[in-house]
Amino acid sequence: MDGNILLLVLLMTCGISDATAELKSKLLCSQCSKCETNKCPPSEAYPHMTAFDDSLIAAALQSDYFSSEDTSVYSVPDIKGGESEKYNAYYGWESTSGSASGYHRFRNYMDKCSKGQSYLTVDKHGKVKLGSLNSLESLAEADWKSIAPPEKYYHREFRFWLSHSTGKCLTVFRGRGEKRRVGVAECKFDGSNPFQLFAFRFHYHKTFCCCNLHNE
């Protein structure tokens, strides 16, 4: 067989093998094997929250960068499904109306084994973490209000998220590692702190919704 033809056949075979390779979620399954469906729901109903630098805002079971026992919220590299041999992609946040005043609540879709500790909350000390609604001192700790940014940021659909209980904005704190903590800080509505700007991204593919089950 001609060398060029052989090379082409090998490349095509590798491509087919990569395309049909089955994704596994060993870490997810070892921490939470509970699965209530045999087909993932539409991913756009549970979008990913991303920061100004396109990093992913993730909590328990939304990332392989930390364990399910960690209730903190982090900014981590935004891994696309099927693009990494080490890390998988997971479903994001469900947004619900928290009150008639226009605040929202965010629930971690992936956190199926936490007995309700799945809402994005902030306590009186300013610590952002996952929590259950019935464990809060006030439901305002789970309420977040969307604030429009300066016009120059409109094109990427960024928003500030203002905490109802603290009056401060959701913020990614700078760090040197791949995992940075998310908390709250005084709002800079002029955009001078871009790490208070967040956007929701939809239609992620090859993304796990529970143990060994992902969308197309």
Q: Give the DSSP H/E element, type plus range, for residue 154.
A: none
CATH of domain 45-66+82-205: 2.80.10.50
Tell me the C-alpha to C-alpha distance, in Å, between residue 137 and each of 105, 108, 117, 185.
16, 20, 14, 20
Q: What is the mean pLDDT of the chain?
A: 87
What is the C-alpha to C-alpha distance for residues 142 and 100, in angstroms, rounded to an integer? 14
User: Does 78 score more than 80 pLDDT?
Assistant: yes
| Confidence at 11, pLDDT banded by 50, 70, 90 | very low
- Give pLDDT, residue 100: 59
- Give pLDDT, residue 98: 55
Question: For residue range 103-129, what is the model confidence (pLDDT) as tens digits?
Answer: 999 999 998 888 888 999 999 999 999
What is the C-alpha to C-alpha distance for residues 126 and 160, in angstroms, rounded to an integer? 16
**Pick the residue with more confidence: 75 or 2?**
75
**Pick the residue with more confidence: 44 or 193?**
193
Residues 6+ apart with CB under 8 A from 184: 122, 126, 128, 163, 166, 168, 169, 170, 171
Spacing of C-alpha 5 from chain mean position: 44
| Confidence at 13, pLDDT banded by 50, 70, 90 | very low
